Amino acid sequence: MTVSSAPGKVYLFGEHAVVYGEPAVPCAIERRATVSVEPRADDHIRVTARDLSLDGFTVEYSGSTGDHPDVNVPTPLVEAAMGYIDAAVEQALDAASRENVGFDITVESEIPLGAGLGSSAAVVVAGIDAATRALGVELDPREIAERAYRAEYEVQDGQASRADTFCSAMGGAVRVEADDCRTLDAPNLPFVVGFDGGAGDTGALVAGVRDLRERYEFAADTVETVGDIVRNGEQLLADADPEEPPTDELLAELGNLMDFNHGLLEALGVSSRSLDNMVWAARMAGAHGAKLTGAGGGGCIVALDPTPETETGLRFTPGCEDVFRAELATEGVRVEAGHAGDTPTEGTAE
């Protein structure tokens, strides 16, 4: 069995604007998705998913995600999860120049689905790495990032950006602007994440921003302003010493930009009452800055605070279901166990 893991992420700046070619700076965090892969003697895919905010499920099928049984979880979430796993398997088979290979796959994740922490990207990145290694092929992280992006692009009907998958594959802080993806040297920022227990509808939220942008010139200007915020934040990180703890001055400047970014996202209609409540609770507790992370509509906020005060404040905030400190994940996708080897004899679906 081959086991790989990949980290989730928070957006320091730039979600939604990145869809329109503006830059974004996501940061990998030490909340990881782990995918275990064992090739089978037939071409069936058997997936066991745990800890994906779905109460767990097991599915065995052949040929398409439409061929799975009823499970006691919301159908759209199951279909989304299976779609990402299918796409990852397709990319792995293509990379290894193989066909008609089945897998037993187990997915375990510390990252809630749809919460803005890059759960799907982490699962796809770890899945491609584990499956290709199980087929005797080892890919460079940048190729894994590219293939994971193609998988997400397919599942999300062309609405994916490279930000989540590149960040998950490479680790650390990254900058993504259209097809230009690069890693950044950044200090270990003191992230605090608050989670409202929900998940936004990414497709609907992206479509809503697109509609506003097409209808109103000032909405298009708002998206461009988010890009300006990202550029300012990127310069602050470039001027910082990545080997030293971040200074209070750096945290204050980054926090101001995060606050501006959240306000613009709120104006674009992608925040929610629960997210706004958590953002304000974090600021009132003394965080240097706070904003939603990801598509919005529900899910998570991220704040900068090296003290325990923001964590304490969020724990007593109505609507906040969970809060945790998130260290910067300096390592992206990695193999946890197993090694490349031969696959069983190919077979046919029953």
- Active site positions, annotated: 164
DSSP 194: E
CA angle 6, 296, 212 (to 5 degrees): 130
Query: Roughly how many angstroms between the first and final C-alpha of the chain, as a whole number?
Result: 23
Structure tokens at 13: 């700046």
What sign results for the dihedral spanned by CA atoms 174, 176, 179, 185? negative
- Nearby residues of 345 by Cβ (< 8 Å), 6 or more positions away: 41
Distance from C-alpha of 151 to C-alpha of 86, rounded to nearest angstrom = 9
Question: CB-side exposure of 232: number of CA atoms within 13 Å?
Answer: 15
User: At what angle are helices 119-134 and 141-155 packed, to 10 degrees?
Assistant: 120
Distance from C-alpha of 296 to C-alpha of 292, rounded to nearest angstrom = 6
Distance from C-alpha of 92 to C-alpha of 133, rounded to nearest angstrom = 9
